[in-house]
Structure 1
Amino acid sequence: MSRGRALYLQVNGLSTHAWVRGSGPPLVVLPGLGCASWMYVRVSRELARSRTVYVYDPPGHGHSEGMRQLPVCIEQLTDHLAAWLDAAGLRGVPIFGHSLGGEVAFDLAARYPQHAGALIACAPTGVPENPSVLAQMARLMADLPRERPQLALPGMRAYLRCGPRRMLRLAQDQKDHFTGPLLPRIKVPTLLVDGTSDPVIRQWTLDAIRNAIPDAFVCEIRGGTHALTDTFPKTVARYTLDFLHTVMR
């Protein structure tokens, strides 16, 4: 399989990067808080067997430029994503969001209903239960020993690139995000993917999302950790591709 290529677009004055691989209908992958495109190699390779996969770096993440005041909240992440989808000619394609990326995907589908053709939320954080930053950090620390050791160095590189100030501000914004009835406004087909050994995402969070989006599909991965895209890339890809084959015909 082709290693892929880098795509850089100027979006709202910022050079915005995505890693592209595969062929077929497009699928956009959104990273988690502080994460970068290079942390999603394993799952993007599996998805690229049937799709052209764009692993997008938000502003200030990965290889994308950021500004001191951008982004500092989730809505800014969503606004930039919508502009990038327009610039890339990808409006209306399926969106795959991991962790905080799932939260951004929900926000996109609710506030920009023409920009997402379907949603796959993999271990989505913060909706509707938004813990304090300390609680979030404690949960992440509990999850770290369960992840592949090989993810540690790419993850540290990504976090240093994003920076602690930006990560802290985005984590703090989760406490205030989705105070309005956004989830019921999502009308596109939605898949929720959950790991049973994920200390970051609690079962009641997934239950609440399912109640707010009653037509959403739910898949559980036995033993799955928070970084499902890295620990179970083939399973996540299979669920995703089967779902898209069903709903995007």
Structure 2
Amino acid sequence: MNGENLPNAGAPVEAGAPALPLAEPPLPVPPILPEKIRSIGRWRWWIHLLVIGSYPLLLSLASVGAIERDGPALSGSAKGLLFVCGAELLIFGVIFALGWLASRASRDELLLRWRPGFWVVPLGVGYSIAIRLAAGVVAVAVMLVVMATGKVSSDSIEQFTLDNRPQVETIVDVPAMKSSPAYFWLTITLVSFVVAGLREELWRSGFLAGMRALWPRAFGSRFGQIGAVAIGAVIFGLGHLPM
């Protein structure tokens, strides 16, 4: 259509002139519905946090009585180790399930979604090695600084390290690890990665979910999440003091 055939928009409309056809109204745009927001009462999240968060402390109280008994906590045989590991996982599973039933936390709230996919596995292995190396470097640096002051000798540091080392013999049977291949491999696989590692990560994810749900402003940001992890580390460390 040529522009000269179009009516002048600024010209006055004469009386009796035929009305121009109006343009068709645009089709209504359907509103964008927000995702379904789960309404969970704060009291449910309080139950979630108290039940799951108290697990390390309950474990600590149980370990106090276990230290005085004869033999390691995981027994001295492969069969006994499997039984104890199964009991530990069952107890943790019941406690975690009770906390989850109260809040019905989603997979994203529990940080269980794999990001970025398969790379979670190699990245996890790399981070694990890097953290251990970094902790060793920091420990050596602290010892060198202390020794440089001249107030503490290397023998004192060595004795302090021996006196405060983890009491591994109260957990596993060291002679059995040397004599029984089955006991050895169960210890470094089932105990290390499932009973200890997986259980700890699930506990931490449940604890952090409760902290973020109850205090989103304080623990929703990156800095707040670091603070929540630090609080969780203190609680988890208190649970391992008797060990």
Same-fold call, TM cutoff 0.5? no
Which structure dedicates a bigger proportion of its chain to strand?
A: 1
Give the TM-score, by structure 1 length: 0.21
Which structure dedicates a bigger proportion of its chain to helix?
A: 2
Look at both structures and tell me which one has the larger radius of gyration over its CA atoms: 2
